Amino acid sequence: MTDAAAAHARPTLADVAARAGVSASTASLAFSGSGPVSEATRERVFAAAKALDYAGPDPRAQSLRRGRSGIVGVVLEERVRAAFLDPVKIQVLDGISEGIVPLGAGLLLLTDTGEGAVSVANAPVDAVALIGCSPRLAHTVAQLRLRGIPMVAIEGHAGDDIIEISIDNEDATRRGAEHLRELGHSRVALVTLPLDPERTRGPLTPEREDESTSATTSERIAGARIVFPGIGGVTAGASDVEEGRLAGLALLADPETRPTAVIAQSDLLAAGVIRAAEELGLAVPADVSVLGFDGVRVDGLAPYDLTTLVQPSAAKGRAAGEALVQMLAGEHPEGTCFSSVFHRGNTTAPPAR
Amino acid sequence: MTDAAAAHARPTLADVAARAGVSASTASLAFSGSGPVSEATRERVFAAAKALDYAGPDPRAQSLRRGRSGIVGVVLEERVRAAFLDPVKIQVLDGISEGIVPLGAGLLLLTDTGEGAVSVANAPVDAVALIGCSPRLAHTVAQLRLRGIPMVAIEGHAGDDIIEISIDNEDATRRGAEHLRELGHSRVALVTLPLDPERTRGPLTPEREDESTSATTSERIAGARIVFPGIGGVTAGASDVEEGRLAGLALLADPETRPTAVIAQSDLLAAGVIRAAEELGLAVPADVSVLGFDGVRVDGLAPYDLTTLVQPSAAKGRAAGEALVQMLAGEHPEGTCFSSVFHRGNTTAPPAR
DNA sequence: CGAACAAATCGAATCGATTCGATACTATGG
DNA sequence: CCATAGTATCGAATCGATTCGATTTGTTCG
């Protein structure tokens, strides 16, 4: 009977142990390798496992007993599709997966929309990385805190007690702006990342800046203002080439108001601005200089080599992953603020005339 | 002591039940909502939970007891970064996440490299979608089969008993090729997706085609051969614009051997071919026609409107997700082969002269 | 030859919930 | 007033493994 049942249902460690003529505890030791088990016994256990088609210890039972699931959650503020349109996010994600290698953990994608049975509130995760920062993050964070799940926030302030991994948005932009000023530019415009959760497209106004929910966007604007106090511009509806192109057309179409340089808050936006300039018959950088941010290789932008601020996206992710590893080990790592590196490409030059 | 311990350690359902003056079973019923519990009791349980900072039932214990983890695994053949460079894969992933909504499950990213503690061999997943097909997939599949985990394969043959979700690669390419023939083209070349796991770049040779490990690539080549039996070309090292550009330069540089039309096996490759043509001073489609595949919006390709075969990527993912849902419900869904739709853009035209 | 020690193995408790069958209790109808 | 039905609650078994302390077995040394 036991045998028949075992043949039908999936075998358990106990079944394997019984067939090998050892106790369940010994079989467990044989599988985990953490304990003194004689070579002969180990082999007998493995043989029994093979005979019974036993696939190894059930991960669910393991995670209950060990109190670890071996899974790290990544909370995205949007749906999957939107998140992976952004190369910086992908690099961050890749960095995280690299940072948690010591854990040997998998990456569980979660959104903070809260729908679905497995939400951030009840996912079997050991730790969580929050990417970006949406307004409803607060609730998410409260849930995780109750559960005692370690968290890090990447580019966003999730709470005073939560470690942040960020970059020098303000200072990096300031350095980029200074480069433009040194070249002789004074009529400069911004193409910013979205300011609000609705991603409203349109001209940059003081009111809209005040209501910003994106720290990244605001910090980068502030950095530009240090050099060009009165700088204005437009906000894009997303960080992609097409949005950059639209913004570029808006800024560059009118020869009367046309700036001699554009500070784009991402490389994708910068690429779009370049396309817009081309469409309008303007040469880059002769007629208009374009500065980017991120340092991602924009697919298909060759032969342009974008002047930009190279941020260590993958390193950010890695740092986040490593911080989580440390927290799981009981340590209390500190947040990190990375520095971006200025890269002088061929898309900036002194203004014409 | 119990109270002190409970205050220190995380509270369990039993602690909550004790404080509410009910049994653990009743408290469980109150939380799950599946069973007759009086309103008064429910409230008392929730109050106790709040007082103890209880965050709800432990998902690890739940998944052991219920035999379900609420997680669907997605097996990628490469590292995260590489996978998400491909817009088609992103759409598929997004489709999967949509398809499994009834499950309310999360998506766990796994790679079949087998490294790390949580590999496909021991991840707490209820079902798995295999995206793309790498040679070492066989081992992965064997593991999952032992565990009795339902699987679907997207664009790839993983085993005779495994459901496949695919598209009409051969026929779709044939239709695209026919369009070119009808326009009058006869000197046509291919830019193919990678053929082997090493993603070797280079001219297409019979030997290399024979050793192909990518069904998708081979099927699309076969479709082109139906119309242009002797068609040759080059293989790209990946599906991106830069690889397409390199391939395009290789094909178009020499005026002697230059084809009048190029069949690219992805839109990104097609975009790269267009860039190469521009660099060489060739007009598209006047001097060279370019056909794509996928129907993804290539960011920044405007004002070109690529002639291509629009495949339903998101639908593929959704179908895969839905098939998994059905399998988990004990049903036996069948595989699906979707059809691609020809889209006539402005990158194809009759050959010059 | 017996004591002391190490290595291998085993038993039993445990992780935190779910769920089925049993029980206690309340309302209804005869 | 008792039988019957029905509802709310409880006890105990269970999911499948891990782990600690205890026990057995075999070796070495005085």
Determine the pLDDT at residue B115.
55
Question: CB of B97 within 8 Å of any CB in chain A?
Answer: yes
- For residue B103, give both structure tokens: 């499950």
Among B16, B36, B57, where does a domain finish?
A: B57
Where is B78: in which H helix or E strand?
none
Residue for token pair 């303007």:
A282
- Three-state SS string over chain A comes to CHHHHHHHCCCCHHHHHHHHCCCHHHHHHHHHCCCCCCHHHHHHHHHHHHHHCCCCCCHHHHHHHHCCCCEEEEEECCCHHHHCCCHHHHHHHHHHHHHCHHHCCEEEEEECCCCCCCCCCCCCCCEEEEECCCCCHHHHHHHHHHHCCCEEEECCCCCCCCEEEEECHHHHHHHHHHHHHHHCCCCEEEEECCCCCCCCCEECCHHHHHCCCCHHHHHHHHHHHHHCCCCEEEECCCCCHHHHHHHHHHHHCCCCCCCCEEEECCHHHHHHHHHHHHHCCCCCCCCCEEECCECCCCCCCCCCCCEEEECCHHHHHHHHHHHHHHHHCCCCCCCEEECCEEECCCCCCCCCC
A188 and A288 together in one domain: yes
Domain with A198, as residue range(s), is 169-311
Binned at pLDDT 50, 70 and 90, residue B6 comes out as: very low
Q: Give me the CATH number covering residue A272.
A: 3.40.50.2300
Q: How far is CA B131 from the centre of its chain?
A: 5
Binned at pLDDT 50, 70 and 90, residue B96 comes out as: very high
Q: DSSP 3-state assignment of A148?
A: coil
Task: Indicate whether B36 belongs to any domain.
Answer: yes
B109 and B221 together in one domain: no
Binned at pLDDT 50, 70 and 90, residue B122 comes out as: confident
User: What percent of chain B has a predicted confidence (pLDDT) above 70?
Assistant: 94
Task: Indicate whether B142 belongs to any domain.
Answer: yes
B49 and B134 together in one domain: no
Radius of gyration over every alpha carbon of chain A, rounded to an integer in angstroms: 27
Between A299 and B32, name the one with better pLDDT: B32
Which residue from B minimizes the CA distance to A317?
B81
Determine the pLDDT at residue A8.
56
Residue for token pair 């090998």:
A20
Ordered mean pLDDT values, 10 residues apiece, chain A (353 residues): 50 94 93 86 94 94 93 83 81 89 84 64 90 76 91 89 95 98 97 90 94 91 97 94 95 95 97 95 95 87 89 96 93 95 96 83
A284 and A214 together in one domain: yes
Q: Give me the CATH number covering residue A24.
A: 1.10.260.40
Task: Indicate whether B237 belongs to any domain.
Answer: yes
B77 and B185 together in one domain: no
C15 closest protein residue (CA to C1'): A65
What's the CA gap between B88 and A248, in Å, rounded?
A: 28
Determine the nucleotide nearest to B35 by Cα–C1' distance: D8
A294 and A240 together in one domain: yes
Please check whether residue A48 is in contact with residue A16, taking contact to mean a CB–CB distance below 8 angstroms: yes
B109–A97: do the CB atoms touch at under 8 Å? yes
Binned at pLDDT 50, 70 and 90, residue B160 comes out as: confident
B30 and B52 together in one domain: yes
- For residue A217, give both structure tokens: 């966007």
Lowest mean pLDDT among A193-202, A211-220, B5-14, B47-56: B5-14
A181 and A263 together in one domain: yes
Calculate the angstrom distance between C1' of D10 and CA of A125: 32
Binned at pLDDT 50, 70 and 90, residue B134 comes out as: low
Determine the pLDDT at residue B4.
41
Q: Is the pLDDT of residue B1 over 60?
A: no
Q: Is the pLDDT of residue B94 over 50?
A: yes
Residue for token pair 């046509």:
B188
Q: DSSP 3-state assignment of B20?
A: helix
Task: Indicate whether A351 belongs to any domain.
Answer: no
What's the CA gap between B177 and B165, in Å, rounded?
A: 24
From chain B residues 105-144, the ones with a CB under 8 A of any chain A CB are: 105-110, 115-118, 121-124, 143
User: What percent of chain B has a predicted confidence (pLDDT) above 90?
Assistant: 69
A175 and A304 together in one domain: yes
Cis peptide before A102 (omega within 30 of 0): no
Question: CB of A303 within 8 Å of any CB in chain B?
Answer: yes
Task: Indicate whether A207 belongs to any domain.
Answer: yes
pLDDT digits (tens, 9 = 90+) for B318-351: 999 999 999 998 899 999 999 999 999 999 999 9
Task: Indicate whether B349 belongs to any domain.
Answer: no
Q: Domain count for chain A, please give it.
A: 3
Which residues does A250 contact at the CB level (< 8 Å), separation at least 6? A234
Task: Indicate whether A325 belongs to any domain.
Answer: yes
Task: Indicate whether B135 belongs to any domain.
Answer: yes
What's the CA gap between A113 and A185, in Å, rounded?
A: 44
What's the CA gap between B15 and B228, in Å, rounded?
A: 74
pLDDT digits (tens, 9 = 90+) for B275-334: 999 999 999 999 999 999 999 888 777 679 999 999 999 999 999 999 999 999 889 999
B18 and B151 together in one domain: no
Q: Is the pLDDT of residue B14 over 90?
A: yes
Burial grade of A238 (CB within 10 A; 0-12, 13-18, 19 or more): middle
Query: Mutate which of A75, A122, A269, A290 to test chain B, going by most B C-beta atoms within 10 A?
Result: A122
Which residue from A minimizes the CA distance to B275?
A300
Residues within 7 Å (Cβ) of strand D: A 9-10, 12-14, 24-25, 28-29, 31-32, 34-35, 56-58, 60-62, 64-66; B 21-26, 29, 35-38, 40-41, 61, 64-65, 67
B181 and B242 together in one domain: yes
What's the CA gap between A117 and B71, in Å, rounded?
A: 10
B150 and B210 together in one domain: no
Extract the runs of DSSP E, i.e. beta strands, from chain B: 71-76, 106-111, 127-131, 151-154, 163-167, 188-192, 202-203, 232-235, 261-264, 289-291, 308-310, 336-338, 341-343
Calculate the angstrom distance between C1' of D4 and CA of B36: 20
Q: How far is CA B293 from the centre of its chain?
A: 16
